[in-house]
Amino acid sequence: MGKLNTNIKLIILPIVIIISMIVLSFIFSQKIQLLKKEIDLIYFGNFVPNHKLNLIKKDYLKIIHSGKITSAEKKNILKNWEYYYNQYKTEEEKAVLKKINKQLRYALSKNTKSGFLQTLKEIDYLIKHEVDSAYLQRKQFLVKYQKMEDFLFYSQVTIIVLVLLLTIYVTYQAIKQNKHLAYLNEQYKIEANTDGLTNLYNRKYFDTVFGDLTAISYENNFKSAFVMIDIDFFKQYNDTYGHDAGDIALKKVAYVLDSCLDKDYEYSFRLGGEEFGIIIFNTNLKYVQYTLNNIRHELHKLQIPHTASKTGVLTLSMGVLIVDETTYKLSTKELYNIADKKLYHSKENGRDQYTI
């Protein structure tokens, strides 16, 4: 079961976050550009050209050319004018429109060519005003749009910088916490505190690591495991085969433990006599079960004869303690006693098994 180095994960984290932020910023900018185009179309659709005014102008030119006005033409002019007149206007525009409104209605009621010509001038003025106003408002819109675009850009840059700083801080804190565990790992491997017979870590180093088990697990939010192991009927084994054979059996068990626990932050110990211990940091229940099943399987493969055991071969009983948020506050003595009780349960239930 391969485990990616924690520091590498922490280095990858800010890179992934920054790439994600850049992609999001790019998508956001593209959406803003599309929004601008849509607003542009709306602006020009509303202001340039002013369709209703042009229809009124067309009707007036027709009236002036023919020299007469029909009731249908008069009704159509008023209809188009009412539509235009009731559209949104500024206070200044409303004041001008009131005057033109009077002029237009007066001309229609009097039905004179001079009145129509005067109204036509007013309509031309309004058309020009609407065109100029549309361009002016679009120019103002573009200025506001540019300011908005700049604001969004700098906001995105600020967010990216803040996320980067936060990520660096979190990464630094995580690496700092992990240093304690890494230091222990190096110290345990470098210093020659091993058992002389089995070459596993000895009881002295077990006491050191076990004493730091809850602190390291808590600081790094780890789930960890402590496994207490006992060779089944080992006294009878020594009585049957002799102490020299017993020492060889201890070495073979140690070899199995060492070969099955070769990952970072996995430790195997000889606690004394036929007792062994395992500590695994940063793990989970499924992996612990996989490891213990693998140990049993590898030991069974050796087929070490043990006629005093009902299985006929050398076997192990194991008690497993999972260290997590429910056990962080327990003392080392309490943790040890829990594992010891689970080991006792394995023995009482037929041996050659583990109890979690």
Check whether 126 has a pLDDT greater than 50: yes
Give me the residues paired with residue 305 across strands. 313
Residue 332's H or E segment, with its range, is helix 332-348
Residue 213's H or E segment, with its range, is helix 203-219
pLDDT category, 216, cuts 50, 70, 90? very high
Check whether 33 has a pLDDT greater than 90: no
Region 178-197: what's the mean pLDDT? 70
Region 45-69: what's the mean pLDDT? 73
Q: Give the separation between CA 261 and CA 276, rounded to whole angstroms.
A: 13
Cα atoms in the Cβ-side hemisphere of radius 13 Å centred on 6: 20
What digits encode the pLDDT tens for the residues 242-255?
Answer: 999 999 999 999 99
Least confident interval from 174-178, 216-220, 274-278: 174-178
Q: Give the separation between CA 231 and CA 198, rounded to whole angstroms.
A: 14
Q: Give the separation between CA 264 and CA 282, rounded to whole angstroms.
A: 10
pLDDT category, 3, cuts 50, 70, 90? very low
How many helices (H) and strands (E) would you count in the chain?
10, 7
Region 117-146: what's the mean pLDDT? 78
Q: Is 280 helix (H, G, I), strand (E, B) or coil?
A: strand
Check whether 49 has a pLDDT greater than 50: no
Q: Look over the chain and give the mean of its residue pLDDT values, rounded to a whole number.
A: 83
DSSP code string of 172-196: HHHHHHHHHHHHHHHHHHHS--B-T
Q: How high is the pLDDT of residue 4? A: 46
DSSP code string of 41-102: HHHHHHHSS-HHHHHHHHHHHHHHHHT---HHHHHHHHHHHHHHHTS---HHHHHHHHHHHH
Which position has the higher pLDDT, 213 or 189?
213
Check whether 8 has a pLDDT greater than 80: no
Which among 49-53, 174-178, 305-309 has the top mean pLDDT? 305-309
Check whether 99 has a pLDDT greater than 50: yes
Region 217-223: what's the mean pLDDT? 90
Catalytic residue numbers read 274
* Backbone torsions φ then ψ of 280, nearest 5 degrees: -125, 120
What digits encode the pLDDT tens for the residues 293-305?
Answer: 999 999 999 999 9
193 backbone φψ class: left, alpha, beta (φ>0; ψ -120 to 50): beta
Q: Where are the alpha helices (H) located in 230-271, listed in sequence order?
A: 234-241, 243-260
Check whether 71 has a pLDDT greater than 70: yes
pLDDT category, 44, cuts 50, 70, 90? low
Region 286-295: what's the mean pLDDT? 96
Give me the residues paired with residue 355 across strands. 319
pLDDT category, 162, cuts 50, 70, 90? confident
Least confident interval from 22-36, 87-101, 247-261, 276-290: 22-36
pLDDT category, 72, cuts 50, 70, 90? confident
